[in-house]
Chains A and B, each alone.
Chain A
């Protein structure tokens, strides 16, 4: 059925029912009054008709009321005013009463009807305000594009019983996203093409948006000054048409939604710019650090080689030995830097797979001590391990390296002869808790977390490190599901806490 016929049909149906009500009311009044007309007098019957017509104005509209007034006029005249059963009236008093009755009936009922209507529209506009307010409130609380979409969809579902599709424009001003934003099932190729058509056409004339009237959906463009946001498409239940009032309401909705989306888009844009700038800055920092860390040992090697090439220097065996020593130091430093860079990129790219084995703390600390033995001898190195520390599964090679970096750091920054202490305990939360304590200068509070950033060096530290050691340690410990926390000690020095979880589910015997 086409909408035009539908509208006519419903109007006609309402008119017929109103006329029916009017007819029945008048007939009933006549039927009731007829036997008692002589007792109460025909004048009173006229008043009864007046009351009935006035009461009808509460239920039926203007046409029905006029019909009721005319009908009661006719019936009263025909059945109650002498001469009876004619439309003639002899008495001038009766004539005046008759027309007065008719006028009062028409004017009074139409007036009452008008008040009713304005009350109705007041109620409607209050409803509209409440709806708009609830939309605005939820849109204002939205924190992302998806959030705006979800909240708008919810409000429209509640108030209109309709579902909503959002097509936002993609990077190109004139192109829509091929899929609606958010997850929704009723999207079809056809509706998208319709949306696209309206989006393209809306550049010139947004009234084409109304073309959805023919179907059970409505498509509205979302536009901001000098900017097009996209298309909003409201889909009503099968066989239900939007209707003019709802379309107007939804137009105001789409304006609010579009400005909320615009707001979120701008925020997103600013955020992306910030991210871009940050990553560019990070890249420059990393490049500077890499080039500095790599070039320094190369400069040492080059200077050493040119000293070696100078016969005046290299003829002296003492100097020659020194040069060779410097060369080997510089090249192992270079090697360590390259290894570190490779390690960190392997860890970060996720290529590294943990090769977990059963491992005991004494074994772990033992291999650590061997690797650092010449340096450790210069310090007062103490280890204490609680008896209840269990064996646990870990990648021994990687974990040794993580601990090695932390311990090497402690050695590098502590004065020779000072205490280096390792305490291992097992916590109630089933964590192996390793603490490495030194008596070095500690780390400035503001840098305590930054030292885990790649190539970050605390200002004023000794040269020679790569700025990668702690970053690598942290990544390895993270891979094990553990935690690395650095803390300055109240007196002097640094505590590095390494927490490694030990799941309950296994026994070493299972292996």
Chain B
């Protein structure tokens, strides 16, 4: 099988070396660059399948690189940074990055996010029936079952759940969800969203007060965890 190509753009040589070692062990082929300019050139030359991007690059911010990339490319971008500020996370995701991991990071978590990002970009998830543990979502028949028993969801709840399921493993920002469900990214729907999420959790989570599937990314949005995405 052809190896997936990963481009690492980070100005810390030690981080690059350690990432390279971990990712090569997991059968990815690696390119690395230290600046945004070199990184951009490498994207065009090497056509990576996924980009791991540090935000604090010496020549220009990683954010502006994401913006430039998104003008012509849908290559998944995972942002890797020390900045733990929710506002930065939202900004980066809204600019078109696919995921966000803060340093110091867990290598297993990073690998899981890489797998999710690749699956999405390869359209591997375009399957009519989604299965995660006891939860099954039949996207063609619009039927949700937990342990074989059908769960009744309202129209909005179903739209939300199918959005999460189709983007399983990815963090979805409040404004992205608002845009997709209510077609209005500007009004603040986060209160309504919270209520709907609570309803869905009651119906699909084994312990709704300690959710294990539909989890909150504080200050940013929500993520639907798949069993193999860590």
Binding site for B on A (CB under 8 A): 288, 291-292, 295-296, 298-304, 306-307, 310, 312-313, 319, 322-323, 326, 329-330, 459-464
Cβ–Cβ contact B104 & A295, under 8 A: yes
Cβ–Cβ contact B25 & A299, under 8 A: no
Question: CA separation between A463 and B54, bound complex, in Å?
Answer: 12
Cβ–Cβ contact A322 & B15, under 8 A: no
Cβ–Cβ contact B103 & A322, under 8 A: no
Cβ–Cβ contact A303 & B105, under 8 A: yes
Q: Given the known inter-chain contacts A299-B82, A303-B107, please indicate yes or no for A313 contacting B12, CB distance below 8 A.
A: no
Task: Type the 1/0 row for B79-99, where 1 means its CB is closer than 8 Å to any CB of A.
Answer: 000111000000000000000
Q: Report chain A residues within 8 Å CB of B107.
A: 302-303, 306-307, 310
Q: What are 21 A-B contacts defined by CB distance under 8 Å?
A: A291-B84, A292-B82, A292-B83, A295-B104, A296-B15, A299-B82, A299-B105, A300-B18, A302-B104, A302-B106, A303-B22, A306-B22, A306-B106, A306-B107, A307-B21, A310-B22, A322-B17, A323-B21, A329-B14, A330-B14, A463-B13
Q: Report chain B residues within 8 Å CB of A326.
A: 14, 17-18
Question: CA separation between A137 and B165, bound complex, in Å?
Answer: 77
Cβ-closest chain A residue relative to B22: A307
Cβ–Cβ contact B12 & A296, under 8 A: yes
Question: CA separation between A140 and B80, bound complex, in Å?
Answer: 58
Q: Report chain B residues within 8 Å CB of A312.
A: 25
Give the Cβ gap from B104 to chain A, nearest Cβ, in Å: 4
Give the Cβ gap from A485 to chain B, nearest Cβ, in Å: 26
In the assembled complex, B59 has its CB within 8 A of some CB on chain A: yes
Q: Report chain A residues within 8 Å CB of B59.
A: 460
Binding site for A on B (CB under 8 A): 11-15, 17-19, 21-22, 25, 56, 58-59, 82-84, 103-108
Cβ–Cβ contact B58 & A322, under 8 A: no
Question: CA separation between A298 and B104, bound complex, in Å?
Answer: 6
Cβ–Cβ contact A291 & B22, under 8 A: no
Cβ-closest chain B residue relative to A288: B83
Cβ–Cβ contact A300 & B14, under 8 A: yes
Question: CA separation between A302 and B22, bound complex, in Å?
Answer: 12
Question: CA separation between A323 and B19, bound complex, in Å?
Answer: 11
Give the Cβ gap from A9 to chain B, nearest Cβ, in Å: 81
Q: Report chain A residues within 8 Å CB of B18.
A: 300, 303-304, 307, 323, 326
Cβ–Cβ contact B21 & A299, under 8 A: no
Question: CA separation between A302 and B107, bound complex, in Å?
Answer: 8
Cβ–Cβ contact A303 & B19, under 8 A: yes
Q: Report chain A residues within 8 Å CB of B103.
A: 295-296, 298-299
Q: Report chain A residues within 8 Å CB of B22.
A: 303, 306-307, 310, 313
Q: Report chain B residues within 8 Å CB of A313.
A: 21-22, 25
Most buried by A among B18, B19, B22, B108: B18
Q: Report chain B residues within 8 Å CB of A329.
A: 14
Question: CA separation between A157 and B210, bound complex, in Å?
Answer: 78
Known pairs A292-B83, A299-B15; list 20 more (Cβ under 8 Å).
A288-B83, A295-B103, A296-B103, A300-B14, A302-B106, A303-B22, A303-B105, A303-B107, A306-B107, A307-B18, A307-B21, A307-B107, A310-B25, A313-B25, A322-B21, A323-B21, A460-B58, A463-B11, A463-B12, A463-B58
Cβ–Cβ contact B108 & A306, under 8 A: yes
Question: CA separation between A266 and B125, bound complex, in Å?
Answer: 64
Question: CA separation between A300 and B22, bound complex, in Å?
Answer: 12
Q: Given the known inter-chain contacts A307-B25, A322-B21, A329-B14, please indicate yes or no for A299 contacting B104, CB distance below 8 A.
A: yes
Question: CA separation between A1 and B102, bound complex, in Å?
Answer: 86
Question: CA separation between A464 and B10, bound complex, in Å?
Answer: 13
Question: CA separation between A313 and B21, bound complex, in Å?
Answer: 8
Cβ-closest chain A residue relative to B102: A295
Cβ–Cβ contact B21 & A319, under 8 A: yes
Cβ–Cβ contact A296 & B25, under 8 A: no
Q: Report chain B residues within 8 Å CB of A299.
A: 15, 82, 103-105
Q: Given the known inter-chain contacts A295-B104, A299-B15, please indicate yes or no for A459 contacting B58, CB distance below 8 A.
A: yes
Cβ-closest chain B residue relative to A298: B104
Cβ–Cβ contact B108 & A461, under 8 A: no
Cβ–Cβ contact B82 & A300, under 8 A: no
For the complex of A and B, 7 pairs with smallest distance between CB atoms = A299-B103, A303-B18, A299-B104, A306-B107, A295-B82, A302-B104, A460-B58
Q: Report chain A residues within 8 Å CB of B58.
A: 459-463
Question: A291's contact among B15, B82, B105, by CB below 8 Å, is which?
Answer: B82
Question: CA separation between A326 and B20, bound complex, in Å?
Answer: 13
Cβ–Cβ contact B15 & A300, under 8 A: yes
Give the Cβ gap from B33 to chain A, nearest Cβ, in Å: 14
Cβ-closest chain A residue relative to B110: A303
Cβ-closest chain B residue relative to A312: B25
Question: CA separation between A329 and B108, bound complex, in Å?
Answer: 23
Q: Report chain A residues within 8 Å CB of B15.
A: 296, 299-300, 303
Question: CA separation between A303 and B103, bound complex, in Å?
Answer: 10
Give the Cβ gap from A421 to chain B, nearest Cβ, in Å: 27
Give the Cβ gap from B2 to chain A, nearest Cβ, in Å: 20
Most buried by B among A300, A322, A323: A300
